[in-house]
Structure 1
């Protein structure tokens, strides 16, 4: 159990967002977005604790499958939860680089025993998002409101969605109360809050029926694209993966002695359902059948505490389907590193402001792209060697490696994920492996 309340964690995230530059943030009164953040909890020897936001992002966009980039320089998935996680990895790189610096201590220490790094005692992490993650966590029963305006008795019924496009149905009421005068009248009806994310091939398809029969619960889903279908798994699915193999990612697992799991997940004030969140993010799949294959692994099935905050993000998606607010097209990314802690991402996955002739050049590539993360981690490994820290990586081979070869060094992470996919997540959509064959520019 975390010692902090949901509002404590949400508050530091909202305050950090407000303190950052306005460029890339939504326009007041015109746009909405989603905010997500990683929060570090530090506990000292006296058991005193403090919270610190270490990465933060906004965003709601995702590029289509035909636009995916083999150079690693374009961000494919710009949902806030995913960008915050990428920025969190960049923060971890930064902390590794601070090892052995007395004036700016790192959250990591080196273990000579297994040639790996480990988190210092008393360090843990929380995750915050202002809106229910897209996908399975967004599917839950709701009471819909029917609006009756005049004697034509046309009713607008709103079924909630998570992708910014309201789902409106019109139907004619029959057998109204004799006393109805054509004014306002409200009725309740069982329905589902809906997600725009579609079931992946091989999973049970949605029924698309009325009310509670619209969605299939518990299945793996891909994000809805705005036009071209995507190959990106929903945020509910990606967060489920964090609770199985950690939220540090694959390449940094090469130098860590164990994965980094979340202590809690905090959902801001929005339309949400506690049981759906628990199901989607932690309890959807039973991994007990994998225990023999994973018995010697440091990986486990993490079940973070799910907390609901009463604090609302100022740019949250409007509840009313009649709102004129539109989703913000750009994404804002920040992490606690120096220099260059902030950047803004355009819809096309490049840095905002990059003109067509510069796309693919260093000035257009975001620092949380796969290419940039590969470049940063290569420097991290070389830096560790210069500091005489032993690792399990032959740094002499780094200049000739492509990204897929770097990822392959994370043997324990990849073997664990393979076991989990084969036993529990057989239909998990994997991107084309050729997308990982890029190398760093000479």
Structure 2
């Protein structure tokens, strides 16, 4: 029906066919790619049609102090998040077509009045060119491998500790000096390996403890000159949780929620591993669209491009942490997507950029732009930098022209157009007879979604940080 390599090739070709704007400069800049693929089975179910409906690139996040109370700036521009937000934009238009009596590629009427369901034979895949940052990136090394995420820097002072540890996507860091470890490059090496690491050979876990409290214990093998090293992530444990030990080989805790690093300050953006785990329970459609849907929309599979990868770590980060969640409301479930890896590498990643680099080009750096493309009828391409549309002047910041089309406020306004286009007799019950004005109001009114989110927090992610309400009160 389809293979991981077919999915990767489809995404890479789609990226290549996009305009040049926002793409990394060859030999000097690199980026990451993620995409959502719509699968549609043929009538005889012998073939499947594959279509990229959302694609994103990006590596950066903004700090907490730069966040907007008007919802007009992109807080998290990692490729995985960009791709998912673009897909929400696509699904909103598909629902608009459905309620307006037009043909939708995705939705058909559900059994409940005002509700819609995904058509039979339609499903979604998620592709990412690299192992998601956070928990999925933490696994033992085999041989002389480069880190998939930026190694943790030696802590020089309390001040540097407060500033946090930046991921490779933010800056190049010094090699960790604590403990005895195999020497690795401070950037993505061209000597990449795919496939599983024999994690169970060198890890002892306390099976009876909460996954968020698990600590990695590496047991050096006697016959080796040096003990095995651990791939590390620049994402720090969320506030109020136990910190990583950062002692010798016991560097990171397994299963911990992690916050992405920003430009010199802490962000409020959870790691992509954490967000993918959340989507596996709540669906990736978000709270607003759940008003219209009989059940959440889950990813059938997650495909990772050729990169440093460990299947056990992916399973732990995306599935195991939520596997014991119970008492979810009707329609919600702990969905376990198939996890696969492609043998095809993204041509614009760090490895390929390094191979094309010349000394006259200066330092290799992550691309500052983030590209969003989705299969919508108007303005499918959206390129941003620092959370705003690329190229806007300082004078234009805060105006409509500066907003990304996948910012919170723009997605909210698209949802309000969907509500306005819905006949009163077909309006979902959760939106009837209520005085809803702000983004916060509409999210909270999605009762079943909020119940599911409460259960997920209580049972799996009790330390998941809540966004300050004042950042969600825009209209």
Pairing 1:238-387 to 2, within 5 Å after superposition = 238-288=275-325, 291=326, 293-294=327-328, 296-318=329-351, 324-347=363-386, 349-385=387-423
Separation (CA, whole Å) in 2 of partners of 1:260 and 1:401: 26
Provide the secondary structure at the position in 1 that maps to 2:269.
coil
Separation (CA, whole Å) in 1 of partners of 2:367 and 2:429: 43
| Residue 170 to residue 228, structure 1, CA distance change in 2 (3 Å) | closer
| Residue 430 to residue 380, structure 1, CA distance change in 2 (3 Å) | same
* Equivalent position to 1:199, from 227, 231, 237: 237
Once superposed, which parts of structure 1, at least 4 consecutive aligned residues long, lie more than 4 Å away? 100-104, 157-160, 169-173, 319-324, 393-398
Separation (CA, whole Å) in 1 of partners of 2:72 and 2:307: 34
Separation (CA, whole Å) in 2 of partners of 1:49 and 1:102: 26
Alignment of 1:34 onto 2:47? no
The question of whether the paired residues in 2 share the 8 Å contact of 1:158 and 1:167 is answered with no
Pairing 1:26-425 to 2, within 5 Å after superposition = 26-47=24-45, 48-99=47-98, 104-111=103-110, 113-143=112-142, 145=144, 159-162=147-150, 163-164=167-168, 165-169=172-176, 189-211=227-249, 213-288=250-325, 291=326, 293-294=327-328, 296-318=329-351, 324-347=363-386, 349-385=387-423, 389-392=426-429, 394=431, 401-425=437-461
Separation (CA, whole Å) in 2 of partners of 1:326 and 1:144: 26
* Equivalent position to 2:10, from 9, 12, 27: 12
Offset at residue 359 of structure 1 (A): 1.2
Separation (CA, whole Å) in 1 of partners of 2:419 and 2:179: 66
| Residue 374 to residue 100, structure 1, CA distance change in 2 (3 Å) | closer
Offset at residue 261 of structure 1 (A): 0.6
Offset at residue 317 of structure 1 (A): 2.2
| Residue 201 to residue 257, structure 1, CA distance change in 2 (3 Å) | same
Separation (CA, whole Å) in 2 of partners of 1:319 and 1:279: 29
Separation (CA, whole Å) in 2 of partners of 1:210 and 1:410: 46
The structure whose Rg is larger is 1
Q: Structure 2: which 5+ runs fail to align?
A: 151-166, 181-224, 358-362
Offset at residue 188 of structure 1 (A): 6.5
Which string of whole-angstrom CA distances, capped at 9 and with x for unpartnered residues, describes residues 132-152 of structure 1? Answer: 11100000000353xxxxxxx
Offset at residue 160 of structure 1 (A): 4.8
Separation (CA, whole Å) in 1 of partners of 2:103 and 2:116: 17
Q: Structure 1: which 5+ runs fail to align?
A: 146-156, 174-186
Offset at residue 102 of structure 1 (A): 7.8
The question of whether the paired residues in 2 share the 8 Å contact of 1:159 and 1:166 is answered with no
| Residue 65 to residue 108, structure 1, CA distance change in 2 (3 Å) | same
Offset at residue 204 of structure 1 (A): 2.9
The question of whether the paired residues in 2 share the 8 Å contact of 1:99 and 1:106 is answered with no
- How large is the RMSD of aligned CA atoms in angstroms? 2.5
| Residue 100 to residue 66, structure 1, CA distance change in 2 (3 Å) | closer
Offset at residue 84 of structure 1 (A): 0.6
The question of whether the paired residues in 2 share the 8 Å contact of 1:73 and 1:371 is answered with yes
Offset at residue 328 of structure 1 (A): 0.5
Offset at residue 101 of structure 1 (A): 7.1
Provide the secondary structure at the position in 2 that maps to 1:193.
coil
More strand by share: 1
Separation (CA, whole Å) in 2 of partners of 1:208 and 1:172: 9
| Residue 414 to residue 166, structure 1, CA distance change in 2 (3 Å) | same
TM-score by length of 2: 0.80
Offset at residue 390 of structure 1 (A): 3.7
| Residue 96 to residue 81, structure 1, CA distance change in 2 (3 Å) | same
